[in-house]
Amino acid sequence: MRYLFLLIILIPAADIGLLILFGKSIGFWPTLLLIISTGVLGAYLAKREGLQTIRRVQEQLSRGQLPGDALLDGICILIGGTFLLTPGFVTDIIGFLMLFPPTRKLFKVLIMYLFKKRINRGNRKIIK
């Protein structure tokens, strides 16, 4: 929880700093155009990757397989798309890394590690 709090503070601060730096370097309008274009491109990529992942989940379910890897892809795409729609360069970089399949693998390993760590600690709750 401490790390999440730090990320909630540090990432927006870095984004604001970079936005100010870019605004001073290349100007207000080019910076604004860059922010809008990364949002539009991110929405397009998230939609495309998300639809491919949904198709893969449906194929695996129709064959009677559990779609574990595809569900992790879906989680990464959802988080990455959210980051891309958030204005800022740091969040855009993280979002693009989560959307592209080669770099998404790193995030999937991290998510699996966090899930396993949480399960091994015994922090699981059953809701009736």
For 7-30, write each residue's pLDDT tens digit.
888 888 999 999 999 999 999 999
Residue 46 lies in a domain: yes
Q: Is residue 125 part of a domain?
A: no
* Residue 3 confidence (pLDDT): 79
The answer to whether the beta carbons of residues 78 and 2 sit under 8 Å apart is no
* Selection from 85, 76, 60 nearest residue 108 by Cα: 76
Enclosing domain of residue 45: 2-120
pLDDT, tens digit, for every residue of 83-118?
Answer: 988 888 999 999 999 999 899 999 999 988 988 887
Ranges 2-6, 12-16, 23-27, 35-39: which has the least confidence: 2-6
Domain presence at residue 126: no
For 122, left (φ over 0), alpha (ψ -120 to 50), or beta?
A: left
